[in-house]
Amino acid sequence: MQKKVIVIGGGFAGLSAAAYLTSKKYKVTLLEASPKLGGRAYSFLDKETNSIIDNGQHILMGCYYYTLEFLSLIGAKENFSIQKRLEVNFVKEGFRVFPLKGFPFIYPINLMVGLLKYDAIGLADRLSLLKVFFMLPFLSHYRFSNINIKEWLEKENQSQNVQDAFWGILAVGALNTSMQKASAKIFIDILKQIFLKGNKAATIVLPKYGLSESYCKNAEEYIGKNGGEIILSEPVEKIVISEDKVTEIHSSKKVFLDFDYVVSAIPAFALNRIIDDENRINIPDFKYSSILNIHLWLKENKIPEVFFGLINSPLHWVFNKGTHLNIVISDANELVNKSDEDKIKVVKDEMKKFFLLDSELITGYKIIKEKRATFIPSNDILDKRPSQRTQIKNLVLAGDWVDTGLPSTIESAVKSGKVAADLIISRS
Ligand X SMILES: Cc1cc2nc3c(=O)[nH]c(=O)nc-3n(C[C@H](O)[C@H](O)[C@H](O)COP(=O)(O)OP(=O)(O)OC[C@H]3O[C@@H](n4cnc5c(N)ncnc54)[C@H](O)[C@@H]3O)c2cc1C
Position 19 contacts ligand X (CB under 6 A): no
Q: 409, 415, 419, 424: which one contacts ligand X (CB under 6 A)?
A: 409
| CA 108 – CA 197 distance, rounded (Å) | 9
CA distance 216 to 12: 9
408 interacts with ligand X by CB under 6 A: yes
Does 33 bind ligand X (CB under 6 A)? Our answer is yes
Q: Does 421 bind ligand X (CB under 6 A)?
A: no
Applying CB under 6 A, does 309 fall inside the site for ligand X?
Answer: no
The gap between the terminal CA atoms of the chain, to the nearest Å, is 10
The residue range among 29-37, 152-160, 221-229, 335-343 that interacts with ligand X, by the rule CB under 6 A, is 29-37
**Binder of ligand X out of 12, 90, 167, 195 (CB under 6 A):** 12
With CB under 6 A as the contact rule, which of the stretches 8-16, 77-85, 149-157, 385-393 interacts with ligand X? 8-16
| Residue from the set 168, 207, 267, 377 that interacts with ligand X by CB under 6 A | 267
Any contact of residue 236 with ligand X (CB under 6 A)? yes
> Which amino acid is located at 76 in the chain?
A
Q: Please select the residue that binds ligand X; options are 11, 168, 207, 228, rule is CB under 6 A.
A: 11
The binding track of 336-365 with respect to ligand X, each residue x by CB under 6 A or -, is: ------------------------------
- Among the listed residues 17, 59, 100, 202, the single contact to ligand X using CB under 6 A: 59
**410 contributes a contact to ligand X by CB under 6 A:** yes
Q: Does 83 bind ligand X (CB under 6 A)?
A: no
Closest separation in Å from C-beta 64 to ligand X: 7
Residue 182 in the binding site for ligand X (CB under 6 A): no
- Burial of 309 (C-beta count, 10 Å sphere; 0-12/13-18/19+): buried
Query: Is 13 near ligand X (CB under 6 A)?
Result: yes
C-alpha distances (whole Å) from 129 to each of 100, 160, 168, 305 are 13, 12, 13, 26
How far is 408 from 375, CA to CA, in rounded Å? Answer: 6
Query: Does 239 help bind ligand X (rule: CB under 6 A)?
Result: no
Candidate list 6, 7, 8, 219; residue touching ligand X; CB under 6 A: 8
Whether cis (ω within 30° of 0) applies to the bond prior to 304 is no
* Least distance from ligand X to the Cβ atom of residue 391, Å: 21
Rounded alpha-carbon distances, angstroms, from residue 167 to 253, 272, 317: 49, 35, 15
Cβ 315 vs Cβ 157: under 8 Å: no
Among candidate residues 67, 176, 211, 66, the one with its CA nearest the CA of residue 408: 176
Under rule CB under 6 A, residue 370 binds ligand X: yes
Length of the chain: 428
Nearer to ligand X, 294 or 298 (CB): 294
Number of residues counted as binding ligand X (CB under 6 A) = 37
Give me the least distance between CB of 32 and ligand X, in Å please. 5
**One residue of 17, 91, 266, 327 binding ligand X per CB under 6 A:** 266
| Contact between 375 and 381 (Cβ < 8 Å) | yes
Does 56 bind ligand X (CB under 6 A)? Our answer is yes
Closer to ligand X by Cβ: residue 177 or 409: 409
Q: Which stretch binds ligand X (CB under 6 A): 28-36, 97-105, 183-191, 347-355?
A: 28-36
Binding residues for ligand X, rule: CB under 6 A, are: 8-14, 31-34, 39-41, 55-56, 58-59, 235-236, 265-267, 270, 274, 291, 293, 370, 373-374, 399-400, 408-411, 413
